[in-house]
Amino acid sequence: MGQTKSKDAILSRKTHFTKKEIRDLRDKVNHKDNNISAEDFKQTVKKCVPSVSSEDDVFLEQLYAAFAGDNQKRSLDFDEFVDGLSVFMKGNEQEKLALSFKLYDVNHDGYLTKPELERVLLKLSVTFSKEDRTAEIKEMVDQLFKDFDVDNDDKLVTFPVPL
């Protein structure tokens, strides 16, 4: 018990959550062996963020992957969960911008490529529309890269703010 209180104090110093909020999160999340599954993650975020619903599952899968980062086993421990949720719910503008970038950086190499961006946008578009938006999304991504890929290497660079 004392070790958990100490961990919660450390987490509260490095996140935007109070110790009480961290204890509440610990009570809400269903995790064993300090690993939080994608399904437990989705259910917990839905409990913590009232505006998130079952219709947002595709987004929540991307968010889970962004929180896990380059973690090869693709699972979250409680600290990673709290760090990421802190930014998602209470982060400043720069932190949220970095998180937004990580949502699209599928392979977590610090760059956005056209295929990554197209893949995520197509995946998300299916939740909002039954129409095929492939051509529209490709055109939008092409324009984005034309405007922001200043060195023409077909990559957009990540923001240097850690989660």
The structural domains of the chain, with segments of one domain joined by +, span 1-91, 95-163
CATH topology of domain 1-91: Recoverin; domain 1 (1.10.238)
> From its phi and psi, is residue 16 left (phi > 0), alpha (psi between -120 and 50) or beta?
alpha
- Arch. (CATH architecture) of 95-163: Orthogonal Bundle (1.10)
Q: What is the pLDDT of residue 35?
A: 85
- Rounded CA separation 48/25 (Å): 8
Confidence of residue 5 (pLDDT cuts 50, 70, 90): confident
Q: Which of 5-14, 27-36, 73-82 has the lowest mean pLDDT?
A: 27-36
Residue matched to tokens 């890929």: 149
Give me the percent of the chain exceeding a pLDDT of 70: 90
- Of residues 33 and 25, more confidence is placed in 25
Residue 92 CB coordination number (10 Å): 10
1-91 and 95-163: same fold?
yes
- Rounded CA separation 3/77 (Å): 16
Q: Which tens digit of pLDDT belongs to each residue from 39-93? A: 999 999 998 888 888 788 888 988 998 888 766 566 788 999 999 999 999 999 9
